[in-house]
Structure formats: structure tokens, C-alpha cells
Chain A
Amino acid sequence: MSKDMNLLSLAENLVNYSKSKNVDEIQVSIANEDEFTVEVRNGEIERLTESVSKGVSIKVILDKRVATASTSDFDDETLKFLVDDAIERAKLSSQDEFAGLPDEFFDKSQEIDLEIYDPLLEEIQPEIKINIAKEIEQICLADKRIKLSEGSFFQSGFGEVFIANSKGFSGSFKSTSCSSGVYLHSADENNSYEEGWWSNSVNFNGLMKPEEIAKIAINRVTRLIGAKKIETQKVPVIFERPMTSMLLGFLASCLNGHSIYMNQSFLVDKLGQKIAGENINIIDDGLIKGAIGSRLFDREGVPTRKLSLIENGTLNSYILDTYSGRKLGLKSTGHASGVTNFYLDKGNTNPDEIIKSTDKGLLLTRTIGQGTNPTTGDLSRGAFGLWIEKGEIAFPVAEITISGNLKDLLNSIEILGDDLIFDRSITGPTIKVAEMTVAGI
């Protein structure tokens, strides 16, 4: 059941057209997207955006030389031009023994329902979506501590991908997504604070309820009121779930096959070695039903899987597409489209207990800026959070920085929370790191 199976035929036709031009290999992928977004501020719709868009990507390989092309212009003349032009450009690329299509593809007889498509999202009326955004903001603005709203939103999308190649693979899958959230300001005499919260899901019914989103957002912004700077020192740092995601996003970039073969990662040549504490298990699982990062196969048609990247602290695998896999003498792990559901496995400590276990330290609630270097593993970011004294939250802190090195951090995660939730494609529980430099005054 597809909205537009013509797009799969179009992909197959482009493969056939290229074959007639004597290319050795060709891969075509087409993506089709419908999106709806409403942004609400102070109770009124501020912006309503709707779109229908599609794009095609082509890769041709000729005598082990590669060229790629892409377009949103589906005019027949443009598509043929792009194939012909790619063939001419490929002749000027260098021969690369590692270039080529994958050797194995997703086996359609193994197809399972990943539950990543929710027809309800295409059926519900815009008014319902608009009202959700309005309701979230309304609850927030009723709280006197909220100084202003930067706006709330509801977004939903439908997407479908079609892939065909000259090795005879062709396949497609569709998915939906929705998200809703709000961004708020609070203030004291000296400073303003901004925070927010959003929920996302592949299913309409998987979204958090408006009152839950509002409650979390209000708590996140009001708990910063009265924030101060602290003295520069080394302390244990507790990462709230979104902060664990931030750290894991950095780790994912260091595990990427391209970073590895270009020597731009501190994890080069570390396969099979202990790179993290015994308690660390990191997994990428593309097959979790109903999870936001799930998909059957990547854009090369290679099946996704449950992949152990770090097991009890030992590095088991990198994140690879076909090319980076061959470069490293390994096989694709099905990651040509990036990570799927990339997570740090949970422990068994309640997050409140983690705070109680801390005599003095920082509960990190938000970071801003870049400040990550995959080559060295160095991390330094602007930070906000709550100061912990004697196992309890003492006061909020702002305008500080945290810094450390991912190599050290992975080996000093003392406690893993029991709160793993698949609400982001990169996710993990609350964690406590033994020590980082927190710079302030």
C-alpha cells in the first residue's frame, strides 16, 4: 500500500536508462514527504506551513569511478541530463577499489511491520493539531512564573522512500512522525531563562499529552530562576536524559566509519579493545517496533539490525556504510542513512537516587554551543544546571562551562539510571560521571 508506487517505477526506469548507457552500477533513491506545522504564540496561530515535496538521488559507478546527483526537478529532461552528466563526471573521478554497491540487500521475505506508520496522522484534521499546540501554551501561560512564551508547535509528517539499483534490488517503506512542544522564558531581577520541552513519536497516540509536555516545560524553565555562577572546580556531573543524548550524539560521530578511515576519531584502531567501563553497553537497533529511528533498510538497501557497538566496555563495531566498511576490511552495518535507535543501555538506579548519592556536584540540564572534537574526544560546552549539595538540589547555576574528554568520560560513568526511553533516536538514561571541570568565576 503506497501513496505513489509510480515513484518506485520511476526509480526502476532510471536504473534501466542508466544501464542502457553502459554504467557498471547505479543506485536510485527517491524520497517523498508531506509536512504540516503549526506554530502558536500568545494563543494565536503565528505560522501555518504545509508542504508536499520529493527528491531523487542517483549514484553511478563506472569502472570503479563514482559520481552522484540529486534533484527536486522531476522533469524527464532534467533526470536524463543528470544521469548522462553523472556518467561524464564519473569518468573524471579516480578509480577507487572500494567503490561499489553493497553485496547483500534486504530480503523482502523477511519484511516485518516496524509499526512506524500511523494512518491516524494523515486522517486527523488540522484543527485538532492546532488545538494541541494552543492547549500546551495555554497551560504554561496560566503559570504566573512564566514571563513569556516563545511559542508552541505541532508538527506532523509522512515520508516514503523508494530504492532501486542495478543489482536488482528494489524496495520501499513509509513512515510517519509527529512532535509537539513549547519554549518558555522565566526571569528574576537579574536574568531571564529560556527552556522548553517537546515530545515526538511515530504515532499520534504515542505523543505525550499536552498537560504532561506543559508540566515538564514549566518545571524546566522555572527551576532556573535565581541561577548564579559558581567557582571553577572539578566535580561529579549528573547528565539528565537529554544531556546523555547530547553526549551519545558526540560518541556516534566518533564511531562513524568516515571519521575512522580519515583518522578523525579518537576511536581509530580500537576495535576489540576496552574503551569504556565494564558497565557500558551501547547498541544501535533499527528494528525496535514503533521507535522513532526504526527502518527496514538504509538508503543502499542494506538491512538494519540490532548491533552491539560497545559491549561491557569493549568496542565491538563502528557505524558503517558499504564504502567505509570496505575501507576498513569490514561489512556495512546498514548505516548509510545514519544511526537508527542509538542508545546507552540502562542500569537500575532511580534518577532521584543518583542525586542523593552526590555530596557535591552538578546536575547538567542543558548545554549550548559546539565544542566537540571527534579527533581528540575533547568536549567543552556552555552549560546550565542545578547545583547539588549533600544529596539535594541546592540552587540553579547558569553561564558556566563543562569540559572533559569522551575517552575519560566513558571510563568514569559511575551510575546508570533506570530511565531509558526511546523518545529520541539517540537516547540513554540519566548518568553520573565521576568528574569534569566546571568553569565559572
Chain B
Amino acid sequence: MVKIEEKYFFDKIRLSKEELTKLLSIALEKGGDFSEIFIEYRFNNSVTIEEDIVKSSSRNISIGAGIRVLNGEQTGYAFTNDLSYDKLKKVAITAGSIANSIKTNSAVNLNEQSSKNQFYSTHNLVTELDLNKKINLVRSAYDAALNYDKRIVKVSSTLADEVQFALICNSNGIFITDIRPQTRLMVVSTAEENKIRDTGFENAGGRVGVDFFETDKRPEEIGRLASEEAINLLSAGDSPAGEMTVVLGGGQSGVLIHEAVGHPLEADGAWKKTSIMSGKLGEMVANPLITIYDDATIPSYRGSLNVDDEGTETEPVLLIEKGKLVAYMNDLLSSRIMKHKPNGHGRRESYRFSPIPRMNNTVLEKGDNTAEEIIKSVKKGFYAKSFQGGMVNSTGKFTFSVNLGYLIENGQLAKPVKNATLIGSNFEILQNIDMIGNDTGFFLGTCGKDGQSVPVTCGTPTVRISKMTVGGKL
């Protein structure tokens, strides 16, 4: 029944191009100036091994359509699970009621196009794999985690896979589809010794095929890394508290760039003037060491897209060039209001949401120092190795939470420490990053904004921050 090909999805959706064109026109009957239909058919599967047994196996099939009408800066949005023409007609009228004028706009002819971009394959997907084989993958990770050390007492290993078929058409004539796979293998390990207990986590995946787990990241490695973190946490002490020099390990610390720079550069905050980066285009907002871009075109990455959820082709977008703010990440609405070219960052969690500017794969460009040099340069400080995630508010204060860190003493990693939240403010941190490594790595994340979650990654080399508040214990 499950076939990952376009024809299968069109058979499910059962709406003709003529009907979609009609719906786009109906949506504009009250005078809106742009209408759009987003239709989604999505499979989500997961299988979990916990306490040695295949404990859960789930399959979700999601179908729905959202219709959006723009009227100046205003948005009308309505969605349904029922894709019958009559229901969608009602939805189109509801969305169109945002506008209230006598002039009627009509949709032009839909111009079917396929994306030039091919950043992920739709062949040999995990979603098509026999459940038995999926279980074997999960089992490999599980066994490696459990057998890593006698002190590992509980392990949970989950393989989650997804295929989203998205159809986007709008009153400008765009008619485009994208088939988007997404896979993630996650392991949670709990270690225990002398009544001290702690939990480690590791995951890997992306818009990848089955071969990813053979060539890029073996399930065994994911399991081992989760358990290694749990074991290291057992002997970790409390983190220090107060202002100090902080070194963020390469890869996972991408969370910093995501929170401190990424969110403030999403164009909705810029045109609404709610972002601290609003009105600063062309200005120096960071020190000249810093170059940051967002690239949805990295092949097979978790945050990559061929087209965004408004049908705009994605491209690498330079955001900060040697300290200077050169672009925001925008969607159609914000690009229209700010008179900027759309750059492919209009995303939505599903048909239940109207699109907003979002990140994809956000990257801080490499510098010249080795990771060792950076650690060596710090006499006394804090090294952050793994992260739980972060958060930023629109006034630029951000945090990220460290699971496992180390004290730095005389240029070397010393005692392991755990559980500290680091807090800073946006402009300060962009000035205070004073050394950037030549290594790289990516954090796989799920980013939440306005109640919508989307898959992203963020990548950074090892960085040194001259001064930051570490929220440990005295």
C-alpha cells in the first residue's frame, strides 16, 4: 500500500488542477491579493526497543489541506482533513473572509513546475524498509548501548521515519510538489552506580536513505555515544556558577548560533520590529571574525529542502558576512512587505499552520584555530560538550542548556561537570566570540516557534566566548 512515488499521492488527493485553480479564485472572491493551497500527505513510522523487547511500533498517516489568503499584511488561514471539493470550497471562503472589499481577484493558470533542486533521494528510503530490517537497525544500536558498560541499566532505542508529500499551488500560478524523507535513530541510555544515576542521549539521521546507517553513521556508534555520555555524567560534578570564559565544543554548540543569531534574523521579527536585529541591515552587528549563513541545500541534511513550504526554491543565504548583517531569512509575506527577494525560508510544521520565516541548516563559518589551541588558550573556564537545547526571546536574551561539560584548568580539560544553563544577550555574544575553530559538526534539532516545530540543524566549529554567565551551583 505504501509507495513513495508522486502518482500514489495524487491518487490519494484526488483533486484536479482545474479544481485547485477554482478554489484559489474562490479564496480571492472577497478581494484578497494572494491565495495559496498547501496539501499534505504524510507517513510517520516509529519502532522502539526498550528493556530488551520491541515495545512499540506505530504508523501514522496524515492528510490535510490548508488554504491561505493574504490581504496586505493580513493573513486568513483555514484547514481541514477532508479533501472533498465541497469541503475545500468552504475552507477557501473561510480563509478569504480576511479580506473585505468589492474588487475580486482571480487566480491565473497554474503553471506546473518541478524543482531544479534535488537535495534528497526518494529511493531506498527507510520508510520502505521491511519492519524486520528496521528492528535490526534499532537492535544494533540498543545492544551497543547496553553492552557499552556494566553500569548501563536501561536503554531505549527508537527509529523514526517519515515521508512528507507536499503540493503547493498559489494565485501567482505556482504548482509544485516535493517528496521529503526524514529519518532519525535515537538512543537514550541510563547509567547507575552507587545510587547515582544519569541519562545520556545520542541521535543521527536526516533526509537520508537506508545506506546512511551503513556508510555515514553506524547504529552501534549512536548507541555507544549515548552510553558514553551517561557514564561520563556519573562522575560529573556540579557546574560552576558566575561569569567566566566559555569554550563551546564543535558541532553541538550550533545551538548557540541558532538561538543567538538565527531567530533574530527571521524576517517576521524584522518587519514587525519585534526583533533586536530589526533595521540593522548593512550594519556591523558582530565582530569581523563572524560569518554566518543558512543553507537549505546541503544534501540529505535534516533541515534541507528543495523548495520551502511556499514553493520558493531554496538557496544558500549569507546572513552575516564578516560581522555585517547582509540578509534576513524571509517568507513570501515578509519579502513582499520588506521588498526583499524571497530566499526560501517560508516553512510550516504541517497543513495545520500558515508558513512563517524559519531556519534550515544554520552555520557559523570555520575559523583558523584548532580546537586544541582554543582550549589551550584558556587558563580557567568552562567547556561545554553536549547540549539539551536552547531558547531565545525577541529582546535578544538567550539560553542554552549543557548536559555535559568540563572545567578548563591551565589550558586543559579537567573535571567533568553537568547540568548548567548558559545565558547571554545577542549583541554581546556576537562581540565576545573571539576565537573560532577550523573543525565542524552539526546539532540535529527540532525548532519550535509560534507553536510550530520544524526539523533543523545548526553547525559550528569550536568557539571561545571571552565572557558568559554559567548557571551552575555555588
Contacts and interface: CB of A to CB of B under 8 A. Distances in A.
Interface of A: 41, 44-55, 66-74, 78, 81-82, 85-86, 89-90, 92-96, 148, 150, 185, 191-194, 229, 232-234, 262-264, 266, 268, 368-371, 373, 375-376, 378, 380-383, 398-404, 437, 439-441
A48 B190 CA distance: 45
Interface string B78-120: 1111100000000000110110000000000000000000000
B241 A93 contact: no
B366 to A, nearest CB: 27
Contacts, number: 253
Given A72-B61, A380-B471, 17 more contacts: A41-B272, A47-B77, A51-B80, A53-B80, A66-B57, A67-B59, A68-B56, A71-B61, A74-B82, A82-B61, A232-B242, A262-B156, A370-B390, A371-B421, A399-B397, A401-B421, A402-B471
Interface stretch (B191-199, B321-329, B430-438): B191-199
13 contacts: A49-B79, A51-B80, A67-B58, A71-B63, A86-B59, A93-B53, A93-B56, A371-B471, A376-B419, A380-B239, A381-B421, A400-B423, A440-B469
A192 B395 contact: yes
B16 interface: no
Contacts of B392: 368
Contacts of B62: 71-73
Given A73-B63, A263-B154, A403-B473, A45 B399 contact: no
Given A401-B421, A403-B241, A439-B472, A371 B55 contact: no
Given A92-B131, A401-B469, A378 B242 contact: no
A266 B197 CA distance: 8
Interface of B: 1, 12, 41, 50-64, 73-82, 94-95, 97-98, 131-132, 135, 153-154, 156, 188, 190, 192, 197-199, 239, 241-243, 272-274, 276, 352, 354, 388-401, 403, 418-425, 469-474
A74 B62 CA distance: 10
A66 B56 CA distance: 7
B388 A69 contact: no
Contact of B53 (A94, A229, A441): A94
A90 B47 CA distance: 11
Contact of A48 (B51, B77, B393, B472): B77
Contacts of A373: 198-199, 403, 418-419
3 tightest A-B CB contacts, nearest first: A401-B471, A369-B399, A94-B53
A54 B64 CA distance: 10
B388 A371 contact: yes
A376 B55 CA distance: 25
Main DSSP-derived SS at the A contact region: strand
Given A381-B421, A382-B421, A50 B78 contact: yes
A233 B474 contact: yes
Contacts of A262: 50-51, 154, 156, 190
A11 B424 CA distance: 51
Main DSSP-derived SS at the B contact region: strand
B143 to A, nearest CB: 14
Contacts of B135: 92
A262 B56 CA distance: 15
Contacts of A370: 388-391, 401, 421
Given A48-B76, A72-B63, A375-B197, A194 B243 contact: no
A30 to B, nearest CB: 12
A375 B55 contact: no
A73 B421 contact: no
A127 to B, nearest CB: 12
Contact of A92 (B57, B393, B419): B57
A318 B98 CA distance: 48
Contacts of B76: 47-49
Contacts of A229: 469
Nearest to B473: A437
Nearest to A91: B131
Contacts of A234: 474
A375 B190 contact: yes
Given A70-B60, A185-B274, A229-B469, A382 B423 contact: yes
B78 A403 contact: no
Contacts of B51: 262
B395 A263 contact: no
A369 B56 contact: no
A77 B59 CA distance: 15
Contacts of B82: 52, 74
Contact of A263 (B81, B197, B273, B274): B197
B278 to A, nearest CB: 10
A173 B401 CA distance: 40
Contact of A89 (B53, B57, B274): B57
Contacts of A380: 239, 401, 419-421, 471-472
B394 A185 contact: yes
A369 B154 contact: no
A70 B399 CA distance: 36
Contacts of A52: 80-82
Contacts of B1: 81, 85
Contact of B469 (A71, A89, A194, A439): A439
Given A263-B192, A401-B423, A437 B474 contact: yes
Given A66-B56, A403-B420, A264 B471 contact: no
| Residue in B188, B390, B420, B474 with the greatest tally of chain A CB atoms within 10 Å | B474
Given A369-B391, A398-B397, A96 B55 contact: yes
A88 B140 CA distance: 22
A73 B81 contact: yes
A400 B469 contact: yes
B24 to A, nearest CB: 18
B274 A382 contact: no
A94 B49 CA distance: 9
A191 B397 CA distance: 10
Nearest to B81: A72
A382 B190 contact: no
A78 B57 contact: no
